[in-house]
Structure 1
Amino acid sequence: MLSFGDLLPYTDVLLNGLLITIELTVYATLGGVAIGTACAAGRHYGGLWLRALIGAYVELIRNTPFIVQLFFIFFGLPAVGIMLSAWQAGLLAMLINLGAYSTEIIRAGLAVTPKGQIEAARVLGMSPRQTFFRVVLIPAFEKIYPALTSQCIIVMLGSAVVSQISVMDLTYAANLIQSRNFRSFEAYLVTALIYLCFAVLMRQAFNQLGRYLFRHRRDAS
């Protein structure tokens, strides 16, 4: 017989796990998008060696399982003297993973920028830096914003894997609870619902942020 009341004594455990998941997600989103932006610019405008290096990074990450990347960082790097805590290893894995996927998403946006806009910016006397940020990057972000935000949510959901290296996130909390009261169905159902609510809230927050960031462009159109 189901008994969700048995989860009440572990409310603080779930909340703490949720806070760690939120913390990892915020840092991974900000850092991963920054990495993706830099790599996309390098792959689109950089020299041959830089494009090859970034391309190798993107293909490596996109074609290997996230859990293998996580294990390599946490268990493999100490072999070469790089020691990371479980939390640091989990965050680094999420940063690298989101960085690779967002690189391709952002690069797709950069690639569709009309050359006429770039030439017009040069005629107006804009510097290469001004042209990149105002004429290329911002319109590119507007085009790929839905895909980019979806990838951020996917990385948040994938963060459940970091519990495998004892990061005390939401999934770790669910594992801990069911190991103590043997209420697996209730623990994992509640955890799944929390992830669902968090994903929906993230999407709503991203939508509101998008309306704010691109409001001037919509008003101009």
Structure 2
Amino acid sequence: MRSLICLRHPDWDATIASIRQLGGKAGEDWVQDKIRSKFAFEGWCWEKSYIPESVWKAGQSHSNLVESVHADVNREGVRCTLLGRLKKGQSFDAQKMRTLKMFEDFHIHPSYKSGHLSDNAMKSLKRKNALDHRNLAKEDDKISTHNEKVQKSYDAWQKASKAQQIAAGILRGVNPNTQRDLHQTRLQEFTKAREACERAEGKYKKEVETGVALKDMGSGKIKLWAPLE
């Protein structure tokens, strides 16, 4: 297979000689390694290639045909004996020739698929579309789960806030001068309610901040839920 960086070089040999001279031992080792591979320079430079450029450009840019033929042959059997391979190969070739003749004489395709590049392109688009839908559905599920957590933490915060307000009202109704012990008890209850409210508020805000990463995700059918916004 020809390299994607294959190019025409005005003076390839002089360039390789410069690499050897200026690169020292590392440069010499690099050049020798590419020469021993027997394909590196041939795949990089048209002048070194054994395949004429016109022949290369006339061929297909992919190996789909070879892969499909390989798959067809494997259907005839694998791990066969030498004689079995020969007979199965002859049978396979004969079937292929009959298929080609049927197409040439009557324009009958061997399958319902035309084999045109547009079929592969359409299949690729459908596969990508299905993958996108699955990913969007997963993101929608994440948003739904996040919304449930936000709703739960928000309700807990509101409940704790009301409990704090009730405790504050009870505390205000106690005279600290004449009801010192009762006032101390109510003060402790209010302090606990206030701390619980602060914890609930912090948990809610943390859940809202977590949802920032989900802002541009999903299909758009499910919106992020944030009462403070």
Q: Greater RCO between the two (CA within 8 Å, min separation 6)? A: 1
Q: Which has the larger radius of gyration?
A: 2
Relative to the length of structure 2, the TM-score reads 0.26
Whose helix fraction is larger, Structure 1's or Structure 2's? 1
